[in-house]
Chains A and B, each alone.
Chain A
Amino acid sequence: DAGVIQSPRHEVTEMGQEVTLRCKPISGHDYLFWYRQTMMRGLELLIYFNNNVPIDDSGMPEDRFSAKMPNASFSTLKIQPSEPRDSAVYFCASRSWTGPTDTQYFGPGTRLTVL
């Protein structure tokens, strides 16, 4: 099992540019989560999907952020236009529905730096 795969692992871009982060969940998992980790705010849930459908996007900071899940094996988080305050580590996680305490499996994260 390859685990959750994220790409790129590191991204450096300039303010105003579009950034796309990618995630491949564990095969068979029907939930996918996007988190952001910063020193100031810690780990925050941005959005999650169930069976490719966005369920709760209340954590998405603003309209510059968008997420899609076109199929069960791929999701993107897009920031357009990017700003320096978007610099953070973005994690993707997935899980299957096996009960109320089932585990989320995290990817290695994408470290985004916006100059």
Chain B
Amino acid sequence: AQSVTQLDSHVSVSEGTPVLLRCNYSSSYSPSLFWYVQHPNKGLQLLLKYTSAATLVKGINGFEAEFKKSETSFHLTKPSAHMSDAAEYFCVVSDMGGYNKLIFGAGTRLAVHP
């Protein structure tokens, strides 16, 4: 069965410092992996997706994620946090066996302090 585990429910950083949101996945097939962001009272927006073409994936707003098969990880990073990055972030897996279904992690709430 496919699953994702987001290792931190809350992350707090200062503006201008790096962001690291951690995600581990479990999949029986070659996974497709995504990061979505949800700003307060908004829908979910795709940040980036892993398509197996490259292990380092660049997304919108300066975010990137690295797929590490040996560690079954897909951590999200950003070199310098901005106040507008404060939101909830979801790591998502969808695999070849059932890729109509997205399986969401529990979410990580990112707080950015001035």
A residues within 8 Å of B by Cβ?
4, 31, 42-43, 45, 48, 50, 55-56, 91, 93, 100-101, 103-109, 111
Whether B104 and A42, one on each chain, are in contact in the complex, defined by CB atoms closer than 8 angstroms, is: yes
Q: Contact flags (1/0) for B24-44 with A, using CB distance below 8 Å?
A: 000000001010100001111
Whether B99 and A42, one on each chain, are in contact in the complex, defined by CB atoms closer than 8 angstroms, is: no
The verdict on B14 contacting chain A, using a C-beta distance below 8 Å, is: no
- The complex places the Cα of A43 from the Cα of B49 at a distance, in Å, of 18
The verdict on B20 contacting chain A, using a C-beta distance below 8 Å, is: no
Whether A43 and B43, one on each chain, are in contact in the complex, defined by CB atoms closer than 8 angstroms, is: no
Whether B102 and A109, one on each chain, are in contact in the complex, defined by CB atoms closer than 8 angstroms, is: no
- The complex places the Cα of A107 from the Cα of B105 at a distance, in Å, of 19
Say which residue of A45, A101, A108 sits within 8 Å of B43 (CB atoms): A108
Whether A43 and B104, one on each chain, are in contact in the complex, defined by CB atoms closer than 8 angstroms, is: yes
- The complex places the Cα of A24 from the Cα of B49 at a distance, in Å, of 25
Q: Contacts of A31 on B, CB cut-off 8 Å?
A: 100
Q: Contact flags (1/0) for B97-110 with A, using CB distance below 8 Å?
A: 00111101111000
Closest A residue to B45 by CB, please name it.
Answer: A106
Say which residue of B41, B44, B46, B100 sits within 8 Å of A48 (CB atoms): B100
- The complex places the Cα of A108 from the Cα of B44 at a distance, in Å, of 7
Whether B100 and A43, one on each chain, are in contact in the complex, defined by CB atoms closer than 8 angstroms, is: no
Whether A104 and B102, one on each chain, are in contact in the complex, defined by CB atoms closer than 8 angstroms, is: yes
Whether B101 and A45, one on each chain, are in contact in the complex, defined by CB atoms closer than 8 angstroms, is: yes
Q: Contacts of A108 on B, CB cut-off 8 Å?
A: 42-43
Say which residue of A55, A56, A103 sits within 8 Å of B49 (CB atoms): A103
Whether B44 and A106, one on each chain, are in contact in the complex, defined by CB atoms closer than 8 angstroms, is: yes
Q: Contacts of B51 on A, CB cut-off 8 Å?
A: 101
Say which residue of B32, B100, B102 sits within 8 Å of A56 (CB atoms): B100
Nearest chain A CB to B104's CB is how many angstroms away?
A: 4
- The complex places the Cα of A111 from the Cα of B43 at a distance, in Å, of 11
